Structure 1
Amino acid sequence: MRNFLRTRLRTRFSRATAVTAALLSVFSVTAPAYANNVIVLNSGEATLSLIDEATRQVVATIPTGKEPHHLMATPDNSSLIVANSVSNNLMFVDPKTGKPQRWVENIEDPYQVGFSPDNKWFVSTGLRLDRLDIYRYDGKNISIAKRIPLAVMPSHIAFTNDSKTAFISLQVSGEIAAIDLATQTVKWKMKVGPVPAGLWMTPNDKYMLVGMTGADYVAVVDWRNQKIVKTIKTGNGAHNFRSLADGKHVVVSNRVASTISVIDQDSLTNVGDITGLLPGPDDMELSADKRYLWVTFRFAKKVGIIDLTNRKLIQTIAVGRSPHGIYFYDRAPVFGPNGG
């Protein structure tokens, strides 16, 4: 919590046109031949690391804007959007090579971002500015529809499959806000617990899972009736989610406990913890064969690879400071915003 508040107090960084041009000219690295590359955002260094998935080696380090936390592929997967929260802009990169394609300026404080399932709306939480920005999306251009003030530190996003509602976790007030996308209004807020972060919709939107970074559990929310029906004990700092793509299980990273819990979405129980990890597990991504789970360790400057057959950490890769979002080119998004 203290780290989040420190982030809010940082001086806002404004990118001038000359700086943008300079960053583009800095990219003199010849992009490696495409080979299932992995992109990791180093939020503490304003760079992204490009990792060859096969060799598990960093093959390029590319400048971004200041504090790139989260990322999201465009619906056609032709670009990867890097949200530079303190630079107040979006960087579109080639998802195969990490090479910058274009910049979109004047996107204020894009911390977490995501497209609605129908691809009509692009949503951005302003963690520092305490608001939600909703943009129209026409397949190429992003234009502001409405800015909605929210409680302190709006963080993660989830959508209903019908694209009618977006849910936003509000970390300081301990609430979830439901946003009507058609009218861009707040439908309701409800208390869920201390420092809610990651949000996950179970199959058929039956329940919403909420990671409690200020506690040691995941809250199961009946969002239609606005009530908590159950809590699932995980580890301290339950934070972010990722599907294991088997139709049944989802994992949650426990940032304080430095563990990852496996949750059965049918029984709504913790069916096992992955231990022996480095400090601060955060965002996660799954290999195409579903055997390996890659995870960013925010406090260790490394990415880890977990073998899911035995749930063991088998390798780490040094990247930049405070690695956060992670993306595999050969994967279509299966969960909405990453990240984390």
Structure 2
Amino acid sequence: MEGNKLLYVEILGNLPEMAEGEVKALLELSNPGFTILEKDYLFLALKANESAFSYLKRLGMAHEYGNLLFSGESLEELYLKAENLEWGNFIAGSFKVDRETMLNCRYNVENLERELGAIIVRQGFKVNLTSPDTLVRVYCGQKLWVGIRKQTFPAKSFEKRKADRRPFFKPIALPPRLARAMINLARAKKEVLDPFMGTGGILIEAGLLGLKVYGVDLRKDMVDGAKQNLEHYGIKNYVLKKGDATKLGKLFPDKEFEAIVTDPPYGTSATLGGKVREELYEKALESIYEVLDGHLSIAFPTSFEAEKVAERIGFEVLEKYYQRVHSSLDRYFYIMRN
């Protein structure tokens, strides 16, 4: 397609299949004609329009993304391509070459930064190792990949929104990166509903992406606490309701949502509104189906036959990702569509 360029994304390694799914979901939103050309360990080489950057900046389970310049299958090939490249098309101001040696790296790259840097210097550019204007990134895996970093996703920016950093918190909550990935997997463009919002972790991430957020919880203290958390992070465009996730049609009688993202409780009947867990999950899925016109991103313990129940209700299960949380909890993250 005209206007398409080579891009790259470096994903996180803890749930790599889910991280790759998040990239695909965002590329679908921005550029339906995208292609993932290759995957080299945690490095994804993409072909997509640069308009994809406006969505890739939403990533949760990634280290960084940028423009991909070229790849090579030997150091000699990399240096030859570097010598023939017009670096002035990609470097503004000073630069630094920064290497990422992945676990599957099969090249001797000990001197790579110095050699590649020297080639770029010969074209008239200055090195700045402390605060460069442009960061040239080289990834070593099955191939050697050279790109220009556009954005990085430092852990600290997510850690400041962890459950225990919020004004109102409970110890059990999704990590912010994971919450954000679930939102992106739901292909949310304008809004998100979380019918089991708890302290509002999913809504915080959605609100920071500029989405309008809707939340429901059985307990008034959770509704009040989630409001406090949203306000703390500067999120104003929200609607929170005290109510039952199994009766969403009554709570939102004239509303259909493009994306629903939620992590239902895994506790005992005492914490589930008096319902047996499997019964709650089934009724919640039926309720969600009634108010959804789009994608659902939801987590269930592996003991619950989610696919069977969801397909009986009418959902199409598109994706699922496994996670072992601890010795007593294994779960799947499901992406469904009605």
TM-score calculated relative to the size of structure 1: 0.31
Which structure: larger Rg? 2
TM-score calculated relative to the size of structure 2: 0.31
Which one has the bigger strand percentage? 1
